[in-house]
């Protein structure tokens, strides 16, 4: 049987999605359905003096109007920060209370004040306009770099400082800097982004008063986490009385990892009114209330010798985490950011210092790459600048500082198990035809355009684990993953995973793995996920972890199935277990033609005994059935790496920057399905290039979100891109038996610096993201002026 691992298998999930037969949360409507509409704060910061719901309650079709006082009276708990970070001085981070409905103060535009529930959405929306909230408006704190100098939003949190965290050794860094020939400095803004999964968030909670069970459909990357948080922290219902289903989910990119106020409120309200409550965000609500991403202000320095050897690195960052500390808000700018900020290089001394600040803006949390794009942008812009200032080739300076021996103990945290960074960069330079750049530059120049080239070599730490380590660093959850492999009596298989697919293609990739392990045809394997009542508890999908952690759990469960199968087959064939081998779906007795298929063995496990032709006694002490589970907790993170090269062509008359050529060569270890992996890279690239050239989330000085629609926030579109050239190298991961490293975030991590380095190469000046036509045109005008002066 040919191995499916490594094959471009078409996706099993596609037909339903292509024919309109998918089922997303907004598609689910229950009998006796009611519809929720949230009353949200129009102010960035205000005290709530009074909420008058009397008129709204009497409006047509209204079933209930619930406020922050109601939720407080019912003792529903607040939303949580899931990762405890300690400051450099040893003190704990400071976080404000985050009630699902505010009763005392609102802290960003879009903050939840009340919910109106009605027979129809139109009636709920109309009645919401009748809720009269009396606010005392206060001066908002908006800007990341001004937050520490502004009024405290919360009285117990001076300087709006959540924590002041340090990783690394300041004294060693000082020594390194003192001995340097040159110090390269950058001041960077990592622009705030809105994740913008195409499916807006939604929830539909259905309480059954007789069983006291709530069934919550929700747009989640992580239904098990939603269940435990809504049960254990919000206290809406005990875990055994809350079933969370994340059906087809239309993208997440981090923004759907954890439950929001709306899921908590809909679940609680459904219990209160004893009817199902449905909420579907419109896009404006998504802009206002989905967690945003990035938003760092960074000063970084690199100490170098004049031959280009790196000696030390310092990183001083202010990270905006918005009005409240969301679930992964505190780990994103710390452990996911700081360690990777030294890049893919040998760096004798380094530190990352991060001050996380509260502002009157939407909460900021993980967004595709989460911390690692910010880290990679910092070091890669710095390295390229170092090459420019030292007059070195950007590839040469990188290769000079690559580690060549693995495992490589990276400066700040990670022991990188495997990699070959030189091979990746060399391949990228070939695919990109780096040698031909100068000719292309001249051709562009002849056409009145300015061409630039930019590099990014990155590594990232994903497949986050092991649980014991992350918990010791403050993580409030474990980070293993579960799988259950269940043979049905007739020999086909259902695989349950605690991971979740919302575009990544688990139904196919995971089935490929199980098919190879068990020797069962792909079409006889179903992957089940997204329902807490079906599969075992798991930790969902984020941080490029599904395959390395969840995929391995499937392998381990399959190994247990085969181990049991061997015993049963040996009994059926009346031979010693040690004489039985398993290969391609068959248990074979060595040097004989005796064998049993895994299907026959499964059947025997479910019908153990003798009945006519069926002769399948189980070995003594063996239980009937064929179903095994595994909870896999890896021994280390995984470390994808790669080299990306971007060429841009700038029109100096309009300031338009076109990505003319883009090459990505990545090392994801073993690739299970190249078709899917390439798609992941393409998608990541577009999000990263979007950050570099188009996307920007902007609040005005009063805290109003100016970019709250697709008319104002520039989403990358089909006509913004060339065809990307992809290549792969492979050093298998040693931390999991599949050898996989994770591919979901790489494109978004590597592309912003590659693009920006190309823009800065073209314009020979620093420029901030997004490099909009306006900024680029201004830089071109400056360049023209200085050129004419020089002439």
Q: How far apart are CA 720 and CA 658, in angstroms?
A: 7
**CA diameter of the chain:** 100
Among 417, 507, 666, 678, binds other proteins (CB under 8 A): 678
684 binds other proteins (CB under 8 A): yes
Task: Answer whether 759's CB lies under 8 Å from 380's CB.
Answer: no
Task: Answer whether 407's CB lies under 8 Å from 417's CB.
Answer: yes
Task: Answer whether 292's CB lies under 8 Å from 193's CB.
Answer: yes
Question: In the Cβ-directed half-sphere of 391, how many Cα atoms lie within 13 Å?
Answer: 1
Among 14, 104, 181, 581, binds other proteins (CB under 8 A): 14
Q: How far apart are CA 556 and CA 628, in angstroms?
A: 9
User: Which residues within the stretch 237-296 sit at the binding site for other proteins (CB under 8 A)?
Assistant: 248-251, 253, 282-284
**In this complex, which beta carbon is closest to other proteins, that of residue 242 or of residue 686?**
686
507 binds other proteins (CB under 8 A): no
Task: Answer whether 713's CB lies under 8 Å from 399's CB.
Answer: no
Spatial strand order of the sheet with 296-304 comes to: 161-168, 349-357, 310-320, 296-304, 182-190
Least Cβ distance, residue 42 to other proteins (angstroms) = 17
**In this complex, which beta carbon is closest to other proteins, that of residue 511 or of residue 589?**
511
Q: Exposure pattern of 628-650 as b/e (b: 16+ CB <10 Å)?
A: bbbbbebebbbbbbbbbbbbbbb
Q: Which stretch binds other proteins (CB under 8 A): 479-487, 551-559, 645-653, 705-713?
A: 705-713
Q: How far apart are CA 752 and CA 710, in angstroms?
A: 21
User: Which residues within the stretch 182-201 sit at the binding site for other proteins (CB under 8 A)?
Assistant: 196-200
* Rounded (5°) CA angle 470-374-458: 85
Q: How far apart are CA 403 and CA 407, in angstroms?
A: 10
540 binds other proteins (CB under 8 A): no
710 binds other proteins (CB under 8 A): yes
Query: Which two structure tokens, joined as six digits, stand for 395?
Result: 């590839």
Spacing of C-alpha 528 from chain mean position: 21
**In this complex, which beta carbon is closest to other proteins, that of residue 247 or of residue 466?**
247
Q: How far apart are CA 79 and CA 671, in angstroms?
A: 38
**In this complex, which beta carbon is closest to other proteins, that of residue 625 or of residue 679?**
679
The percent helix, strand, coil of the chain (3-state, each to 5) is 30, 25, 40
Question: 3-state class of 659 per DSSP?
Answer: strand
676 binds other proteins (CB under 8 A): yes
718 binds other proteins (CB under 8 A): yes
**In this complex, which beta carbon is closest to other proteins, that of residue 275 or of residue 398?**
275
Q: Which stretch binds other proteins (CB under 8 A): 9-17, 262-270, 385-393, 547-555?
A: 9-17
**In this complex, which beta carbon is closest to other proteins, that of residue 39 or of residue 51?**
39
Among 1, 3, 21, 149, binds other proteins (CB under 8 A): 21
Among 655, 683, 703, 742, binds other proteins (CB under 8 A): 683
Task: Answer whether 111's CB lies under 8 Å from 153's CB.
Answer: no
Instruction: Tell me, residue by residue from 602 to 641, as one string, x for binding to other proteins by CB under 8 A and - for no binding.
Output: ----------------------------------------
Q: Which stretch binds other proteins (CB under 8 A): 262-270, 327-335, 374-382, 683-691?
A: 683-691
Least Cβ distance, residue 321 to other proteins (angstroms) = 23
Spacing of C-alpha 518 from chain mean position: 31
Least Cβ distance, residue 432 to other proteins (angstroms) = 17
**In this complex, which beta carbon is closest to other proteins, that of residue 262 or of residue 384?**
262
- Name the residue among 502, 520, 499, 500 with its Cα closest to residue 511: 520
Q: Which stretch binds other proteins (CB under 8 A): 97-105, 438-446, 503-511, 576-584?
A: 503-511
77 binds other proteins (CB under 8 A): no
Q: How far apart are CA 668 and CA 666, in angstroms?
A: 6
Size of the site for other proteins (CB under 8 A): 55
Least Cβ distance, residue 205 to other proteins (angstroms) = 19
522 binds other proteins (CB under 8 A): no
Q: Which stretch binds other proteins (CB under 8 A): 73-81, 422-430, 670-678, 763-771?
A: 670-678
Least Cβ distance, residue 597 to other proteins (angstroms) = 30
| Residue 309 burial (10 A CB sphere; 0-12, 13-18, 19+) | middle
Q: Which stretch binds other proteins (CB under 8 A): 10-18, 180-188, 388-396, 697-705?
A: 10-18
10 binds other proteins (CB under 8 A): yes
How far does the chain reach from its first CA to its final CA, in angstroms? Answer: 71
Q: Which stretch binds other proteins (CB under 8 A): 150-158, 563-571, 576-584, 720-728?
A: 720-728
Question: Per DSSP, what are the bridge partners of residue 408?
Answer: 416
User: Which residues within the stretch 119-178 sit at the binding site for other proteins (CB under 8 A)?
Assistant: 122
Spacing of C-alpha 488 from chain mean position: 34
Residue linked to tokens 């001083």 = 316
642 binds other proteins (CB under 8 A): no
**In this complex, which beta carbon is closest to other proteins, that of residue 87 or of residue 751?**
751
Q: Which stretch binds other proteins (CB under 8 A): 357-365, 499-507, 545-553, 647-655?
A: 499-507
| Residue 70 burial (10 A CB sphere; 0-12, 13-18, 19+) | buried
**In this complex, which beta carbon is closest to other proteins, that of residue 677 or of residue 780?**
677
**In this complex, which beta carbon is closest to other proteins, that of residue 82 or of residue 744?**
744
Q: How far apart are CA 570 and CA 691, in angstroms?
A: 59
Task: Answer whether 216's CB lies under 8 Å from 203's CB.
Answer: yes
**In this complex, which beta carbon is closest to other proteins, that of residue 250 or of residue 634?**
250
**In this complex, which beta carbon is closest to other proteins, that of residue 505 or of residue 742?**
505
User: Which residues within the stretch 80-119 sit at the binding site for other proteins (CB under 8 A)?
Assistant: none
SS (HEC) of 5-67:
CCCCCCCCCHHHHHCCCCCEHHHCCCCCCEEEEEEECCCCCEEEEEEECHHHHHCCCEEEEEE
Torsion of the alpha carbons at 734, 427, 742 and 582, rounded to the nearest 10: -50
**In this complex, which beta carbon is closest to other proteins, that of residue 221 or of residue 418?**
221
Among 469, 522, 715, 767, binds other proteins (CB under 8 A): 715
**In this complex, which beta carbon is closest to other proteins, that of residue 687 or of residue 731?**
687
369 binds other proteins (CB under 8 A): no
Among 719, 787, 788, 790, binds other proteins (CB under 8 A): 719
Residue linked to tokens 């064998």 = 595
Among 687, 696, 729, 757, binds other proteins (CB under 8 A): 687
| Residue 727 burial (10 A CB sphere; 0-12, 13-18, 19+) | middle
Q: Which stretch binds other proteins (CB under 8 A): 341-349, 401-409, 602-610, 704-712?
A: 704-712
Q: Which stretch binds other proteins (CB under 8 A): 381-389, 585-593, 633-641, 682-690?
A: 682-690
Q: Is 50 left (phi over 0), alpha (psi -120 to 50) or beta?
A: beta
Instruction: Tell me, residue by residue from 735 to 764, as one string, x for binding to other proteins by CB under 8 A and - for no binding.
Output: ------------x-----------------
Query: Which two structure tokens, joined as six digits, stand for 626?
Result: 């064929």
**In this complex, which beta carbon is closest to other proteins, that of residue 31 or of residue 171?**
31
* Rounded (5°) CA angle 409-410-413: 100
Q: By CB under 8 A, name the binding residues for other proteins.
A: 10-11, 13-15, 17-24, 26-27, 122, 196-200, 248-251, 253, 282-284, 502-505, 675-676, 678-679, 681-687, 709-711, 715, 717-719, 721, 723-724, 747
């Amino acid at each position: 049987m040919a191995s499916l691992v490594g094959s471009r298998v078409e996706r099993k999930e596609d037909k339903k999605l292509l024919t309109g037969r998918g089922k997303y949360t907004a598609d689910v409507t229950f009998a006796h359905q009611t519809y929720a509409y949230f009353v949200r704060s129009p102010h960035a910061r205000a005290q709530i003096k009074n909420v008058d719901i009397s008129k709204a309650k009497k409006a047509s079709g209204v079933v209930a109007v619930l406020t922050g006082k109601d939720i407080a009276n019912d003792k529903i708990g607040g939303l949580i920060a899931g990762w405890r970070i300690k400051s450099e001085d040893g003190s704990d981070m400071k976080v404000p209370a985050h009630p699902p409905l505010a009763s005392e103060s609102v802290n960003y535009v879009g903050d939840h004040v009340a919910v109106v529930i009605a027979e129809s959405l139109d009636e709920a929306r109309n009645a919401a306009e009748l809720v009269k909230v009396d606010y005392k408006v206060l001066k908002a704190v908006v800007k990341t770099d001004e937050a520490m100098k502004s009024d405290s939003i919360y009285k117990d949190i001076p300087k709006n400082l959540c924590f002041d965290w340090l990783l690394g050794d300041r004294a060693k860094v000082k020594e390194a800097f003192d001995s340097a020939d040159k110090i390269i400095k950058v001041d960077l803004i990592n622009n705030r982004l809105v994740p913008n999964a195409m499916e807006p968030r939604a929830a539909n909670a259905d309480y059954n008063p007789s069983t006291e069970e709530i069934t919550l459909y929700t747009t989640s990357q992580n239904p098990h986490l939603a269940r435990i948080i809504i049960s254990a922290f919000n206290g809406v219902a005990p875990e055994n009385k809350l079933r969370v289903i994340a059906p087809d989910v239309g993208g997440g990119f981090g923004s759907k990892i954890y439950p929001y106020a709306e899921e908590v409120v809909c679940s609680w309200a459904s219990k209160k009114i004893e009817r199902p409550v449905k909420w579907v965000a419109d896009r404006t609500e998504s802009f206002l209330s989905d967690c945003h991403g990035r938003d760092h202000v960074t000063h970084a320095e690199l100490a170098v010798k004049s031959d280009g050897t790196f000696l030390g690195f310092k990183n001083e960052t202010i990270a905006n985490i918005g009005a409240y500390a969301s679930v992964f808000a505190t780990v994103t700018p710390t452990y996911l950011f700081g360690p990777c900020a030294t890049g893919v290089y040998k760096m004798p001394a380094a530190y990352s210092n991060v001050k996380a600040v509260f502002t009157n803006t939407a909460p900021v949390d993980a967004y595709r790459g989460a911390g690692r794009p910010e880290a990679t942008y910092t070091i890669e812009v710095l390295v390229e600048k170092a090459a420019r200032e030292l007059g070195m080739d950007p590839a040469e300076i990188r290769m000079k500082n690559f580690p060549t021996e693995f495992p490589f103990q990276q400066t700040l945290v990670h022991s990188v198990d495997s990699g070959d960074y030189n091979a990746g960069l060399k391949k990228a330079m070939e695919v990109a035809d780096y040698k031909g750049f100068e000719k292309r530059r001249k051709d562009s120049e002849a056409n009145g355009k300015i061409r630039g080239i930019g590099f990014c070599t990155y590594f990232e730490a994903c497949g986050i684990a092991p649980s014991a380590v992350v918990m010791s660093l403050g993580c409030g959850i474990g980070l293993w993953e579960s799988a259950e492999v269940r043979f049905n009596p007739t020999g086909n298989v259902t695989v349950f995973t605690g991971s979740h697919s919302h575009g990544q293609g688990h139904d196919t990739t995971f089935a490929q793995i199980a098919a190879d392990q068990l020797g069962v045809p792909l079409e006889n394997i179903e992957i089940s996920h997204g329902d807490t009542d079906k599969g075992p508890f798991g930790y969902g999908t984020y941080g490029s972890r599904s395959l390395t952690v969840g995929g391995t759990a499937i392998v381990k469960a399959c190994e247990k199935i085969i181990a049991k199968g061997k015993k049963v087959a040996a009994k059926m064939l009346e031979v010693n277990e040690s004489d039985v081998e398993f290969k391609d779906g068959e248990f074979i007795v060595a040097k004989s033609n005796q064998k049993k298929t895994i299907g026959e063995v499964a059947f025997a496990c479910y019908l153990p005994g003798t009945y006519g032709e069926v002769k399948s006694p189980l070995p003594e002490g063996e239980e009937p059935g064929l179903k095994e589970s595994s909870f896999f907790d890896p021994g280390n993170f995984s470390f994808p790496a790669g080299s990306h090269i971007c060429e841009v062509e700038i029109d100096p008359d309009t300031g338009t920057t076109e990505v003319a050529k883009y090459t990505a060569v990545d090392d994801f270890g073993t690739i299970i399905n190249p078709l899917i992996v390439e798609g992941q890279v393409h998608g990541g690239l577009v999000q990263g290039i979007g950050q570099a050239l188009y996307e920007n989330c902007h609040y005005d000085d009063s805290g109003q979100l100016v970019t709250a629609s697709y008319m104002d926030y520039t989403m990358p579109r089909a006509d913004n891109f060339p065809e990307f050239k992809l290549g792969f190298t492979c050093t298998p991961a040693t931390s999991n038996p599949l050898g996989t490293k994770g591919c979901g975030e790489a494109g978004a991590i590597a592309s912003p610096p590659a693009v920006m380095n190309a823009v800065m190469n073209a314009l020979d000046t620093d420029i901030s993201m997004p490099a909009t036509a306006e900024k680029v045109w201004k830089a071109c005008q400056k360049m023209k002026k200085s050129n004419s002066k020089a002439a």
